[in-house]
Amino acid sequence: MRKVLFITLSNIGDAVLTTPALETLHQCFPKASIDLMADQRSSLLFTHCPYRGRILHKHKKAGWRKLMGLIHQLRRTSYDLVVDLRTDGLAYLLRARKRLTKRGVRPVGPHAVEHHMAVVAPLHPPLAPIPPCRIWLQAEQMQFAKTQLSPLPGRRWLALGPGANWAPKIWPAPAFTALVNEVKHDFDGVVLVGGPQDRERSQAVGASLPLPCVDLCGCTDLLQVAAILQQVSVFVGNDSGLGHLAAAVGTPTLTLFGPGQPERYHPWGNHSAYVLAPNRQLDQLSAATVAHRLRQLLDRAQ
């Protein structure tokens, strides 16, 4: 195998959860150049992957003309292997000696990572451990994180992700503030992270915190925020891509679930946990409950 195409998923968290399968491909074929098909939103995560070839973009809502142009571009290359984690039929339109897709596979567990690993199971020894999720960072991102976090005292930092892409997935801002009040003696400072759409919510959280705070919502790209999350003691946030980024850089991660499928989509890793809100309503989830689960996570991670 010298030329491989890996078709990953669109959303940030979903893309992170495909990296164990990607790492498996590299372990099986260490000399292969692996082209990646990703979404424009999440492709930055693969920028510094050391064994990748080209990064190509497939847009969910692109019209048929753009799709045909992409297929024409891909058919210029004859692949030894195409691994398709989307399974929308694209793999069967490309030139390839072998194809692995989600059709007909049987995962060994409920989690999305286990579903992705089932696709590459013909290549993966049955008893071999599943590789961890990965984010590939460079010195420039690490220096950025160091600079942004320099105003905070100490080293015990709590990162909070108060936003998400859907209102029912969002724990109310006052609850995040109440959480910090519950655990203020366990930390030296707070870091708020998220996208530009989360700024108003992060400002509401940070307005009356009992600890020094750095608000970086809307001030980072995906790799920069991953570097930030690598430096903190723990991350607490809603069901969003941030939790997956935190877990992928080895940071203990507590995800707050209302609606959704936590058993399938919780961040993957030994130091990841989640809280399921009563009646799947996040406004019924108390700060005291989250604080208790947070302390349990920190005790387990030590």
* Secondary structure of 141-184 in HEC code, one letter for each residue: HHHHHHHHHCCCCCCCEEEEECCCCCHHHCCCHHHHHHHHHHHH
For residue 7, the surrounding DSSP H or E stretch is: strand 3-7
CB atoms within 10 A of CB 186: 16
pLDDT, tens digit, 9 for 90 and up, residues 79-118: 999 999 997 788 999 999 999 999 889 998 999 999 999 9
| CA 108/CA 20 separation, integer angstroms | 15
Question: What pLDDT band is residue 176 in, cutting at 50, 70 and 90?
Answer: very high
Say how far apart CA 296 and CA 156 lie, in whole Å: 16
Q: What is the pLDDT of residue 235?
A: 98
> Whole-model pTM?
0.96
Q: Which helix (H) or strand (E) holds 21?
A: helix 19-28
Place of tokens 């984690």: 85
pLDDT one-digit tens code per residue, 261-292 = 999 999 999 999 999 999 999 999 999 999 99
Three-state SS at 203: helix
Model confidence at 132, pLDDT cuts 50, 70, 90, reads very high
The CB-side HSE value for 170 (13 A sphere, CA atoms) comes to 15
Show Cβ contacts of residue 197 under 8 Å, excluding neighbours closer than 6 positions: 163, 218
Give the residue-averaged pLDDT of 61-71: 80
Domains in the chain (CATH in brackets) are 3-123 (3.40.50.2000), 139-301 (3.40.50.2000)
- Round to whole Å and give the CA distance between 26 and 21: 9
Residue 60 clears pLDDT 90, i.e. is over it:
no
